[in-house]
Homo-oligomer: A and B are copies of this chain.
Amino acid sequence: MKKNILTGFSRLTKIQKLDLIAAQLPDPEVATDTMRSFWHPHAGTQRLFDEFSENTITNYFFPYGIAPNVLINGKMYMVPMVIEESSVIAAAANSAKFWAEKGGFHSEVVSFIKNGQVHFTWDGPFEVLTAEFATLERRLRKRTATITANMEQRGGGVLGMELIDMSHKLPNYYQLSVKFDTRDSMGANFINSCLEEYAAGLREYAENMPGLAPWKLDVIMSILSNYTPECLVKVWVESDISSFSSIDPSISAEDFVRKFEMAVNIAKVDVNRAVTHNKGIFNGIDAVALATGNDFRAIEASGHAWAAREGKYQGLTDISLENNRFNYSLTLPLSIGTVGGLTSLHPMARLSLDLLKDPSAKELMQIAAVIGLANNFSALKSLTTRGIQLGHMKMHLLNILNVYSATDYEKALAVEHFKHHKVSHKAVDDFLTSLRNQ
C-alpha cells in the first residue's frame, strides 16, 4: 500500500500541483485550460486566494448577487448574497420589498458574549482547586495582558472566567470557562490564543501552588466554543393581519395567516419539517456570511444546536397573531465579524462590507438574520399558497436549458412557453425536441 502514497505534494509549486491534477483527468489539456480559466487575471489578487488555504490550484466561483430594498430599523440596505441555489436571492428580494412597504424589518442584538474553555482533569477535591481562585484569575489575566491589550483598546477583552465542576458528567472532568467580548471580530484566534495561555497558567498553578501538590491536573484541550447562546440576535416583522388581503388570489388574509401560523407550529413539533424550515433560514444567513468573508460552518453549528436547546430540535421562528396583528420573529445565536479573518483580505468581502456602509459586527448580525427571516417568510408564503415548485422551477428553467445547451433563441421561446406551462426536466426536453424537429 505504502508505495502508492504521494509524498511532498504540498511542497510542489502551484503549477506543478495543477499539472499533476490535470494528468489524473480524462483530457489533461482541457482540464488545465479549465482550471487556469478560473484564475484571477491579476497575479497579485490570485496570490491572495492561493494563500488563504493550502494546496490551492485554482478558484471555485459562486454567483454574487444583490437583494435590494432591505429596510432594517428604518435604514435601507442593498444586501450582497453569495449562493449557488436558484431562487434564494429572488425570494429574499421579494420578501424585502413586501416588508419595506410595511415599515421594514425590526431587529435588536439581545446579547454579545463569546466563550471558550480549558477542558482539564483534576484528581483532587474541587474545593482545593477553587479555594484561591482570585489569585489564579489574577495570574491568568496577567499572562494574557499583551494578547488582550489591543482588544481592550477597542472596548473588548476578557469579561470573566470561572471554574466549572463537570465531574458528574465524566470522572475528574473540570472546565475553566471564559467569556469574551471580541468587538467587531469573530474572535476565534484571539480566544484560542488566550485559552492556550490560560491552560499553561493553570498547569503552572496546579504544580506550584502550595497545597495542590498531592494531586494531578491534566489539560485535555483549550479551545473556543462555536456555541454562542449569549451572542443572540432577534429580528421580526409586524403588520395588521388585513395587510395580507391581496397576498394570493386564492386565499383571504385571515386564512393565510392561520395557515402560515400552522406551518410555523408544524416546524415546532415535527423534526422533519423543523430541519427544512431552518435550512431555508440559513440559505439567507449563509449567503450574507459568504459575501462578507465569514465562517458559515460556525454559524450553522451554533444555530442548529441552539434549535435543539430545549431537548428536541425545533424551528427557529415564532409567531403571534394577537390583536389582529401579525408578528413574526427569528431569534438565534450569530457570531460574525466585520474585521479580521478574510473580511479585509478578500476583495469581494471588502466590497460587500463597503456596500453595507461598513457595518459593525452587531449591525451585520442583524442584516444576516433579517435575510434569514426574509427567505423563510418567502418560503412559507409560497408553501402555504401555490407551492414552491412553480416559482422554483421557473427560476431553475435557465439551468435546465443550459443542461440541454439551448441557444439564446431557444431560451427566449422556452421562457415564453413556460410562463403558461409547468417546468420539469422532461417538459423542457420535450419542448426543445419538438422545437428542434420543426
Contact = CB atoms under 8 A, between A and B. Distances in A.
Contacts of A259: 218, 220
A89 interface: yes
A63 interface: yes
A84 B54 contact: no
A364 B226 CA distance: 27
A17 B346 CA distance: 22
A378 interface: no
Interface stretch (A234-242, A276-284, A317-325): A276-284
Contacts of A413: none
A394 to B, nearest CB: 11
A78 B131 CA distance: 54
A295 interface: yes
Contacts of A57: 64-66
Contact of A403 (B269, B345, B425): B345
Interface in A268-303: 269-276, 278-279, 282-283, 286, 290-291, 293, 295-298, 300-302
A387 B199 contact: yes
Given A61-B49, A63-B50, A424-B147, A263 B220 contact: yes
A166 interface: yes
A25 to B, nearest CB: 5
A44 to B, nearest CB: 10
A82 interface: yes
A225 B273 CA distance: 6
Which of under 10, 10 to 19, 20 to 34, or 35 or more describes the interface residues of A?
Answer: 35 or more
Interface in A23-43: 24-26, 31, 34-35, 37-38, 40-42
Interface in A419-437: 424-426
A402 B347 CA distance: 12
Given A40-B37, A83-B53, A311-B311, A227 B297 contact: no
Contact of A189 (B301, B305, B393): B393
Interface stretch (A5-13, A122-130, A205-213): A5-13
A253 interface: no
Contact of A388 (B147, B166, B223, B290): B223
A269 B175 CA distance: 12
B262 A69 contact: no
Nearest to A390: B196
Interface string A304-316: 1101110111000
A354 interface: yes
B354 A26 contact: yes
Contacts of A104: 1
A266 B348 CA distance: 39
B150 A426 contact: yes
B24 A355 contact: yes
Interface stretch (A95-103, A105-113, A132-140, A154-162): A95-103
Contact of A301 (B2, B146, B269, B304): B304
A83 B164 CA distance: 35
Contacts of A223: 273, 276, 383, 388
Contacts of A5: 69, 97, 100-101
Contacts of A298: 279
Given A50-B63, A192-B392, A275-B302, 8 more contacts: A2-B101, A10-B93, A54-B87, A119-B273, A189-B396, A193-B393, A223-B383, A279-B300
